[in-house]
Amino acid sequence: MDGQSMKKKDIHQNEVLCEPFRIKVIEKIQLPNIDQRIKILQKAFYSAFYIDSKDVYIDMLTDSGTGAMSDEQWAALMKGDEAYVRSRNFLDFETSVQEVTTYPYIIPTHQGRAAENILMELLVNPGDHLISNTFFDTTRAHVQNQKAIPLDLIVDDLWDFKTPKPFKGNFDLAKLQAALERYHENVPFILITILNNLACSSPVSMANIRAVRELANKYNKLVFFDACRFAENAYFIKTREPGYQDKSIQDIAHEIFSYGDGCYMSAKKDAIVNIGGFIALKDETLARRCQELLVLYEGFPTYGGLARRDLGAIAVGLHEGLDEAYLKFRTGQVAYLAELLEQEGITVSKPAGGSGVFVDVSSIYPHLSEDKFPGIALACDVYIEGGIRIAAIPFHLNCVDPGSGDLVKRNFEFARFASPRRVYTQSHLDYVANAMRRVKANATKNKGYRLTYAPEVLEHFFAKFEPL
């Protein structure tokens, strides 16, 4: 047995990772040669966000809207009833979201941030303090757009890549208590991000969700979920939290949602579609007000900025996203790549989470200080070595002191190898790990980068760089 297959065996304790599906449509991908890759990267200002898709061999930039739809989803898409009002697909979509979330009032949006826009405009005032375990970047931008202050009350475990903790996405309850005590008059709601995407894509435990609900009740606050990856979170509760081993993923999801007043979701994640989203609420009055803004920004309440066929694909995808065999495979893929990278001497967040593998870039580029952009160095090197695209984003979080509730600014820097749903196979992951071996071996040759352009808002999408 050669070394590589030995490794695979060790990782799975004799269980080989096997896709719970067959492939019946394929898309050709091509690796530009090394000279071309060097030129492409230069033309792209050394930023993954300026590289053309055709020039990427393995695209691990994001798991958002990049999944492969099933035959059942394509069938639903083909049966689109494109009526403006109460089409068949809208009714299927509405039923599916109600079944999965238990919330009665369902409002379609074209994607997650459109839902954020509507909820924030309705509920947030200038100067408010918005509380979450960690705000996703568009969510944070929407809070700031309302001239409010986002507070990220994540546990300190997040910064410790090396120590395995099952629920690094949790709220720090002492910080939450301190923040509510100090700011409660200006907190419109608490947002629980499941799973906690930018916090190493770690899950939030049921115990933590329950405790957040109890604190929210004490201060009479609404609780909403940013539910993009609720199914992956439910799977991790099942596999990591005592007492849930024998419950179905759907039952666990129902319990999660029972602690909230509503949720919104980018269906581009766990509903495995290329576009779509929704708001789901318990309260009819709030739902009506959302629908009024929906008409202004998105479309009529029975399509919300989407083609009706897209609603049909979401209706099917939401249930497929809850399938345990699929979730086992998906989270197993992410864990598999994490193990391979770890075997190359790279520090990854443990245990692996949902959306992808989170890498501590300083374990590859210890010689590059933060101002030399080690994350950009990794993104560039992995593109040069393998035509692989990843994202490396420094995050600026607003934490609070658990004693006083004072604001404490903290950075969180990482690179993410995101895993598109049902798109890549085990050999693709082996290929990525091989490229990373070469990246690691040659890392000291990288002298870092200089920023040549950065806009004020959402700078990581538009920034440009040059090598030092």
Ligand X SMILES: *Cc1c(COP(=O)(O)O)cnc(C)c1O
Please give the residue ranges that form the binding site for ligand X (CB under 6 A): 64, 111-113, 136, 138-139, 193, 197, 226, 228, 266, 268-269, 277
Q: How far is the CB of 367 from ligand X (least distance, A)?
A: 32
Closer of 264 and 373 to ligand X (Cβ): 264
Q: How far is the CB of 240 from ligand X (least distance, A)?
A: 20
Which helix (H) or strand (E) element contains residue 292? helix 284-297
Closer of 37 and 422 to ligand X (Cβ): 422
Among all residues, whose Cβ is closest to ligand X? 112
CB count in 10 Å sphere of residue 438: 15
Q: How far is the CB of 118 from ligand X (least distance, A)?
A: 12
Q: How far is the CB of 27 from ligand X (least distance, A)?
A: 22
**Residue 378 in tokens:** 């990794």
Residue 153, CA atoms < 13 Å, CB-side half-sphere: 25
Q: How far apart are CA 320 and CA 313, in angstroms?
A: 10
**Residue 301 in tokens:** 């309440």
12 by DSSP, 3-state: which?
Answer: helix
Q: How far is the CB of 197 from ligand X (least distance, A)?
A: 4
Q: How far is the CB of 43 from ligand X (least distance, A)?
A: 26
Q: How far is the CB of 399 from ligand X (least distance, A)?
A: 18
Q: How far apart are CA 459 and CA 392, in angstroms?
A: 12
Closer of 67 and 448 to ligand X (Cβ): 67
User: Helices in 345-447 by DSSP H: which ranges?
Assistant: 374-386, 426-442
Closer of 139 and 302 to ligand X (Cβ): 139
CB count in 10 Å sphere of residue 144: 15
Q: How far apart are CA 466 and CA 408, in angstroms?
A: 32
CB-CB contact of 324 with 235 (8 Å)? yes
Closer of 264 and 326 to ligand X (Cβ): 264
**Residue 197 in tokens:** 């995407």
DSSP per residue, 74-118: HHHHHT----SSS-HHHHHHHHHHHHHH--SEEEEESSHHHHHHH
Q: How far apart are CA 327 and CA 102, in angstroms?
A: 21
Closer of 150 and 402 to ligand X (Cβ): 150
Closer of 17 and 307 to ligand X (Cβ): 307
Q: How far is the CB of 265 from ligand X (least distance, A)?
A: 8
Q: How far is the CB of 108 from ligand X (least distance, A)?
A: 13
Q: Counting beta carbons within 10 angstroms of the beta carbon of residue 344, is it exposed (0 to 12), middle (13 to 18) or buried (19 or more)?
A: middle
Closer of 112 and 374 to ligand X (Cβ): 112
Closer of 268 and 308 to ligand X (Cβ): 268
**Residue 9 in tokens:** 């065996």
Q: Which residues, including other chains, have CB under 8 Å from residue 427's CB and lie 6 or more apart?
A: none
